[in-house]
């Protein structure tokens, strides 16, 4: 699938700082240890609605990972998927009497525009579930042959399920106990009560075609893939086992990332699937998590589009003003503060001179390398801006140097 346009990332002089990130599986902040090519997979959207600020905050967090790795001289092999066939998409299309393919194409195009507006660096490979179906069916067939997947005993629809107890590693990503897993599985699209399964926690791998549903012919019979195996296969086939970072929102910790890892581990007999599991917090509005089911979404395209008129860089700064791992609120005051901060930064970073920038650039790097501490990174730039605006500093190269660092490391263009 076509990815979106990149923007140039300026080179920042001075020593970079290696990136440390919180890992959900080991529950600690640990150094990332990429080779020359750093590898990252971030779960993409299901394109049935426009990009809201919760999505934006997630992709922004991983954009910073991308940028800090680039600063450290790594190439970044970043893969993202688009779940362009799944129940929520088909349900929305049915509700609106729309063609699901057209709906998916339209919303994916809007997502690309939003990502470009927010200056989020694109993945090297942007892969739709539909285009990955031959890869997925091959893996599901192997899991069936290996006895870790099975068909439910339903003659009309012998769907394929994964035996969650197939490896000893199940649970090592989320660290959840079984009652928690069962509750989250039921809440987040699982089907614990489906008759014929070996265990309520076993997830769907391949859904046989029902009348009126899209399906693809394959060695498994006509049908379509489950969501977890989609990401598992797309990541595994491009990045291999033990890639550097598996990312997404914190609502993907379970079941999605646990099962994506489990499928790949059962297939290869190797562990771990990813070396870091990194999760972004949820963005709330009026005291509740921003989500489709609550209908309390703020769309990036509406904010920046006609009638909104908000500078996407202000949206970016507003989201960066909180730590990526914390659940936080979107408020008008947050956007106002970011708009005013952006104006201050613009004026100081485009001035003919300012205080020397080297220390500020070093602080930016230190804070970002420390589990993406954007709050302190922004304060470091604020301190320089405030000095510059009070007329101190006569270094003619400083504004341009810091402007390049803010662009490269924070992705904020002034
Ligand atoms: Zn995923």
List pLDDT tens digits, range 72-93: 999 999 999 999 999 999 999 9
Distance 274 CA to ligand 1 centre (A): 13
Helix (H) / strand (E) containing 206: strand 204-208
From CA 252, how far away is CA 198, in angstroms rounded?
Answer: 24
Token pair of 362 as six digits: 């070093």
Greatest Cα-to-Cα distance within the chain, rounded to the nearest angstrom: 80
Q: How far is the CA of 231 from the centre of ligand 1 (A)?
A: 5
From the CA of 257, how far away is ligand 1's center (Å)? 7
pLDDT tens, 97-110? 999 999 999 999 99
> Cα(329) to centroid of ligand 1, in Å?
25
CA nearest neighbour of 329 among 367, 303, 296, 375 = 296
Q: What is the pLDDT of residue 137?
A: 98
According to the model, what pLDDT value does residue 123 have?
A: 98
CA of 189 to the centre of ligand 1 (A): 13
pTM (2 decimals)? 0.97
Is the pLDDT reported for residue 132 higher than 90?
Answer: yes
| Ligand 1 center to 3 CA (angstroms) | 17
Cβ burial of 13 (10 Å; 0-12, 13-18, 19+) is exposed
pLDDT at 154 over 80: no
Check pLDDT > 90 for residue 410: yes
Confidence label for 121 from pLDDT (cuts 50, 70 and 90): very high
Interval between CA 46 and ligand 1 midpoint (Å): 10
Q: How far is the CA of 177 from the centre of ligand 1 (A)?
A: 22
Ligand 1 centroid vs 16 CA: distance in angstroms?
30
Please state the rounded mean pLDDT for residues 173-181. 98
Least confident span in 146-155, 260-269, 300-309, 393-402: 300-309
pLDDT confidence tier of residue 175, bands split at 50, 70 and 90:
very high
Return the CA Rg of the chain.
Answer: 22
Q: How confident is the model at residue 291 (pLDDT cuts 50, 70, 90)?
A: confident
> What is the reported pLDDT for 287?
80
Distance 42 CA to ligand 1 centre (A): 7
Q: Is the predicted pLDDT of residue 359 greater than 90, yes or no?
A: yes
Q: Given a cut of 80, is residue 59 above it in pLDDT?
A: yes
Distance (angstroms) between ligand 1 centre and the Cα of 81 equals 7
If you measure from the C-alpha of residue 44 to the centroid of ligand 1, how many angstroms do you get, rounded to a whole number?
Answer: 6
- Within 13 Å of residue 340, how many CA atoms lie on the same side as its CB? 7
Residue-level pLDDT at 164: 98
Average pLDDT of the residues in 34-40: 98
User: Tell me: the pLDDT tens digits for 217-241?
Assistant: 999 999 999 999 999 999 999 999 9
Mean pLDDT of 290-298: 79
Residue 307, sorted as left (phi over 0), alpha (psi -120 to 50) or beta, turns out to be left
Ligand 1 centre and the CA of 178: distance in Å?
21
Bridge partners for 204 per DSSP: 161
pLDDT in the model for residue 51 = 87
pLDDT for the residue numbered 392: 86
Ligand 1 centre distance from Cα of residue 382 (Å): 36
Q: What is the full DSSP assignment across 297-334?
A: --BHHHHHSTTT---HHHHHHHHHTS-TTS-EE--HHH
CA of 80 to the centre of ligand 1 (A): 8
How many whole angstroms from 355 Cα to the centroid of ligand 1? 45
301 alpha carbon to ligand 1 midpoint, in Å?
Answer: 23
Q: Is the pLDDT confidence value at 289 over 90? A: no
Give me ligand 1 centre to Cα 227, in Å.
7
Average pLDDT over residues 347-371: 98
Q: In the structure, what pLDDT confidence band is assigned to residue 388 with cuts at 50, 70 and 90?
A: very high
Share of the chain above pLDDT 70, in %: 100
Average pLDDT, the chain: 96
What separation in Å is there between the alpha carbon of 228 and the centre of ligand 1?
A: 6
Cα-to-centroid distance, 191 and ligand 1 (Å): 18
| CA 256 to ligand 1 center in whole angstroms | 6
153 alpha carbon – ligand 1 mean position (Å): 28
Cα 361 to middle of ligand 1, angstroms: 34
Res 155 pLDDT > 80: no
* Per-residue model confidence (pLDDT) at position 292: 72
Ligand 1 centroid – CA 248 distance (Å): 7
């Amino acid at each position: 699938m076509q990815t979106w346009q990149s923007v140039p990332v300026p080179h920042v002089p001075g020593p970079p700082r290696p990136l440390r990130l919180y890992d959900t599986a080991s529950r600690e902040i640990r150094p990332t240890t990429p080779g020359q090519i750093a590898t990252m997979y971030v779960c993409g959207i299901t394109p049935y609605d426009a990009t809201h600020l919760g999505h934006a905050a997630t992709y922004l967090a991983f954009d910073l990972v991308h940028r800090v790795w680039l600063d450290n001289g790594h190439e970044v092999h970043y893969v993202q998927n688009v779940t362009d066939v799944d129940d929520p998409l088909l349900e929305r299309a049915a509700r609106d009497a729309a063609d699901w393919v057209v709906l998916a194409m339209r919303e994916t195009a809007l997502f690309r525009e939003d990502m470009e507006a927010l200056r989020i660096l694109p993945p090297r490979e942007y892969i739709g579930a539909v285009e990955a179906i031959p890869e997925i069916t091959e893996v599901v067939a192997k899991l069936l042959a290996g006895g870790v997947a099975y068909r439910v005993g339903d003659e009309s629809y012998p769907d394929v399920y994964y035996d969650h107890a197939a490896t000893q590693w199940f649970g090592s990503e989320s660290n959840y106990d079984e009652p928690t897993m069962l509750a989250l599985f039921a809440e987040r699209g699982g089907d614990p009560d489906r008759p014929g399964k070996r265990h309520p926690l076993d997830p769907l791998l391949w859904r046989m075609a029902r009348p009126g549903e899209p399906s693809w012919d394959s060695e498994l019979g006509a049908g379509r893939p489950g969501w977890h195996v989609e990401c598992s296969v797309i990541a595994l086939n491009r990045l291999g086992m033990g890639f550097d970072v598996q990312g997404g929102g914190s609502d993907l910790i379970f079941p999605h990332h646990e099962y994506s890892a489990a499928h790949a581990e059962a297939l290869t007999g190797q562990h771990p699937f990813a070396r870091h599991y990194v999760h972004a917090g949820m963005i709330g509005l009026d005291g509740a998590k921003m989500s489709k089911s609550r209908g309390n979404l703020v769309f990036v395209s509406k904010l920046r589009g006609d009638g909104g008129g908000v500078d996407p860089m202000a949206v970016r700064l507003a989201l960066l003003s909180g730590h990526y791992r914390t659940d936080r609120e979107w408020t008008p005051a947050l956007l106002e503060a970011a708009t005013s901060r952006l104006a201050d930064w613009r004026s100081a970073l485009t001035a003919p001179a300012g205080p020397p920038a080297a220390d500020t650039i070093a602080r930016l790097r230190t804070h970002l390398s420390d589990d993406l501490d954007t709050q302190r990174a922004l304060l470091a730039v604020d301190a320089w801006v405030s000095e510059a605006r009070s007329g101190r500093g006569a270094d003619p190269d400083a504004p341009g140097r810091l402007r390049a660092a803010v662009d490269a490391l924070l992705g904020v263009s002034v």
